[in-house]
Structure 1
């Protein structure tokens, strides 16, 4: 959420940031609401002071036996009490209108984020690995003979409808091994603290990370009001909501493997084949809570953590900086990591690592106490996939496929698979 004080001080800068997002100037409307709200608050405070003063004078008039003055003052107290209540109610309404407007405005992009309307303006900053040269036409993951016995879309559709999958046998073991490998790497090599969090959260948690109110249709809500998390970014980030942390405790670096749920609203007809875009999937998430002066370095560090997973798996990838028109609602800057999928002959997103500045922290009221003293300041928050487990499974299967229909598996997964090294063409792990 944006800082109203910053908008008051530099409205032109605020409007310029919105323009980079493809939005119209809003500072004048915001400041008009803010001025109306502040005027109501001032009027309420003035009326309250008049009520207090009249209340003190009532007793004195009674003591003097001045009945007329007593009645006048008593009527004035009642009038001012009603006026205070009305003005407070009007101020609260203005405050709600201002807040509703502010929470619907996306974060301001950093200066080095490329401008552009959509993904065509994203900028590639590096590549790693060379796509394998196949001596046969590589298949998409769901058409590989070794995979077909363990990737059942028909049964999942019978149970739940489209965009679900049931994994069995060797395929689900590789899926599980990938998640374990990611967690072990992040904990043992990258210094992240492993967490296990709820997948059901309250409105406040979804609001804190920006899913509510603007993106309610993208998530699932239960009949008793809980929300199914779209990613454990929601729970990990909100773990510091309404807290004042000591600066010495920062950075906080967390990771969690969780089920994730997304309605995929507005994606009808997109990536319907296979398990690239599902309503239920698994992800190993990374979240960092930092001080303002360290968040940009942390962003680069988190990106490297995600890239390291792909490098250990031997999967070619490219890293891009998202332009202003393709960046997520809460992000100041985002690195997308795209893995090579030979079955599609293209790179596809497997991780999105974003620095949010104090945008989420203001929504959550998450602060830290500077070691040098002074007032508490808002923390900075960052989040990123480390990685999406299902998409990583797709990449491992497609890049490891062989002409005979089998799949060779990355060496780093072998210890997590009891020493097994491949999925045979008939679907057995051997």
Structure 2
């Protein structure tokens, strides 16, 4: 969430920037500032009342010692009134603080100046394209048919076990899936990211910390009895490692990579565009997460974008990079670049990665700060990116590498798969 001090000092500028999202943020900003003023006034009244109560307590003792019992008893009545008043003020302050927090949770991050104005994905900017789209035979198949033909993925068996969107990977399909995970993790660690394994369920505080709650509550699987959530991405548990942490500046940057399954309800997703691996409720993803100083976070974002470029180019998959417009920008993001791979058999682009800078938005929720020596701690910046999400990468590989009688395996994956062809 946005720091209160930032909102107080830059309310008009932030409201104008939010217009890029297609959001008139002025009413919610006004409400936040009103609640903040109310909270501060209540706090000032409470502090004054407590100070008067403390002064009265000291004077009562002195009056009794001086033998002035009547005056002391009169002051005791005043003291009792002050204590009752302070209790009432504390209750009012608690309600005001809770209302302020809830209002702050409703305000998204301020878009960076580079974010284009726009309503939806049609307004995203293409900033980079790479690779040649292969010419496939006229009888080329989409990945879901290839998966059945070569017994790689059983979608119907997943429906039997769980439901739609939970595929079963088999034989060479399972080996290829594992190979991609290992390959991405190895490339990430070679680039300086420390591998880490994290829980696949998180508590409510973790969901609020990275901004999935309350924004995406309906998209997360919830274990009600334990009030735990299945993670939609490794970003959530990895970033929450630093909740309520003050790092020394010398410890930055922090760079982590993690493989996890991801779980998303994806309510309302229907149609041909979500067939096969295009849209799943459970899928595998390798993530990269960084914690940076504010002055280096955008250089770090560029480094992350270049790293994901390298992964896709090593697989020789044609791709493009989009700078998301305000209307397509995630709730917590200040700037996001989406990577899309071209699916030749489907003749459409498939998103395989989002790389985002959240600036201090998540850090403020997490109370993630850093300091240098005796200086006052300040909020860090957090970033994350998919490196990479597997389903659509696998779809792109199967479709773009198909040929007569089989599917070739990219050369860089052969040491991981143990085979160079699916047939």
Q: What TM-score bracket applies, with the shorter chain setting the length?
A: over 0.9
For residue 381 of structure 2, what is the aligned residue in structure 1? 380
Q: Secondary structure at the match of 2:326?
A: coil
Partner of 2:412: 412
1:353 is matched with: 355
**Is the 8 Å Cα contact of residues 284 and 390 (structure 2) preserved in structure 1?**
yes
> Structure 2 regions of 5+ residues with no counterpart?
none
1:195 aligns with 2:193: no
Q: Residue 5 of structure 1 aligns with which residue?
A: 5
**SS of 1:149 mapped into structure 2:** coil
2:20 touches 2:116 (CA, 8 Å); kept in 1? no
Alpha-carbon distance between aligned partners in 2 of 1:145 and 1:338, rounded to the nearest angstrom: 21
**C-alpha distance in 1, partners of 2:60/2:255?**
61
Offset, 1:149 = 1.5
1:427 maps to which residue? none
Which deviates more, 272-281 or 107-116? 272-281
Residue from 81, 90, 99 that aligns with 2:83: 81
The superposition leaves residues 103-141 of structure 1 with CA deviations (integer Å, 9 ceiling, x where unpaired) of 121100111111111111111111110100123242210
Query: How far does residue 246 in structure 1 lie from its aligned partner after superposition?
Result: 1.2
Q: CA deviation at 1:49?
A: 1.1
| Contact 1:164/1:275 (<8 A) preserved | no
**1:269, CA displacement in angstroms?**
4.1
* TM-score normalised by L of structure 2: 0.96
Give the Å deviation of 1:147. Answer: 4.8
SS in 2 for 1:144: helix
Quick one: structure 1 residues 270 and 224, their matched pair in 2 at CA, closer, same or farther if it must change by over 3 Å?
Answer: farther
Q: Contact conserved, 1:263 with 1:279, CA < 8 A, in 2?
A: yes
Cα distance in structure 2, aligned partners of 1:23 and 1:401: 45
Aligned residues of 2:343 and 2:396 also touching (Cα < 8 A): yes
Partner of 1:422: 421
* Corresponding residue of 1:316: 318
Greater alpha carbon shift after TM alignment, 62-71 vs 243-252: 62-71
- After TM superposition, give the deviation of residue 268 of structure 1 in Å: 4.0
Contact 1:351 1:388 in 2 (8 A): yes
Tell me, in whole angstroms, the C-alpha distance in 2 between the residues paired with 1:379 and 1:52: 39
Give CA deviations for 1:276-309 in whole Å, capped at 9, x if unaligned.
2111110000101110000001101111111111
Q: Structure 1 CA distance, aligned partners of 2:403 and 2:111?
A: 44
**Which deviates the most, 62-71 or 283-292?**
62-71
**Deviation at 1:146?**
6.7
SS at match of 1:15: helix
Q: After TM superposition, list the pairs within 5 Å mapping 1:320-399 onto structure 2.
A: 320-370=322-372, 374-399=375-400
- 3-state SS, counterpart of residue 328 of structure 2: coil
Deviations 1:242-267 (A, max 9, x none): 11111111111111111111111232
Q: Secondary structure at the match of 2:299?
A: helix
Match of 1:167 in 2: 169
Q: Following TM superposition, by how much is the alpha carbon of 1:210 offset from its aligned partner in structure 2, in angstroms?
A: 0.4
Aligned ranges 1:6-155 → 2 under 5 Å: 6-24=6-24, 25=26, 26-144=28-146, 147-155=149-157
Q: Give the CA deviation at 1:212.
A: 1.0
The residue number in structure 1 matching 2:209 is 208
Of the structure 1 ranges 333-342 and 231-240, higher mean CA displacement relative to structure 2 is found in 231-240
**Aligned partners of 1:408 and 1:85: how far apart in 2?**
73
Contact preservation (8 Å) 2:192, 2:255: yes
Offset of residue 61 of structure 1: 2.6
